[in-house]
Amino acid sequence: MSIERKEIEKLATLSRIAINEETISEVSQRLGSVLELVDQLQAANTDGVEAMSHPMQTSQRLREDEVTEINRREALQAIAPKTEDGLFLVPKVIE
């Protein structure tokens, strides 16, 4: 099973991943094989089985609403490509 070229291009755009001409057919094949796996899963009879998003029968632990994080801006911005006046700078995004 393979996926249409248009579909691959759309997914690449949505995922902000650059896929060049030469690899498109390979990516298409590989994604197709993932979909085949999904098809196999979908063939299983799930009548009366409630969908679950996690394999564990357990629930989310909750945190108390207390401040536990301190200001570590300097350390966190030390690894950013570009900062100024405490802001992270990114290529201009304006609508």
Given the rule CB under 8 A, which residues bind other proteins?
10, 14, 16, 53-54, 56, 58-69, 71-73, 76-77, 82, 84-95
Given the complex with other proteins, which of 1 and 87 has the nearer CB atom?
Answer: 87
Tell me how far, at minimum, the Cβ of 74 lies from other proteins, in Å.
10
Place of tokens 């100024």: 84
Pick 48 or 86: Cβ nearer other proteins: 86
**Alpha carbon distance 34, 42 (integer Å):** 12
CB of 3 vs other proteins, minimal distance in Å: 15
- State the sign of the Cα–Cα–Cα–Cα dihedral 7, 11, 12, 14: positive
C-beta of 57: minimal distance to other proteins in Å? Answer: 10
Q: Is residue 18 classed as helix, strand or coil in its secondary structure?
A: coil
Is the distance from CB of 84 to CB of 71 less than 8 angstroms? no
- What is the Cα–Cα distance from 53 to 45, expressed in whole angstroms? 17
- Beta carbon nearer to other proteins, 30 or 73: 73
Nearer to other proteins, 22 or 58 (CB): 58
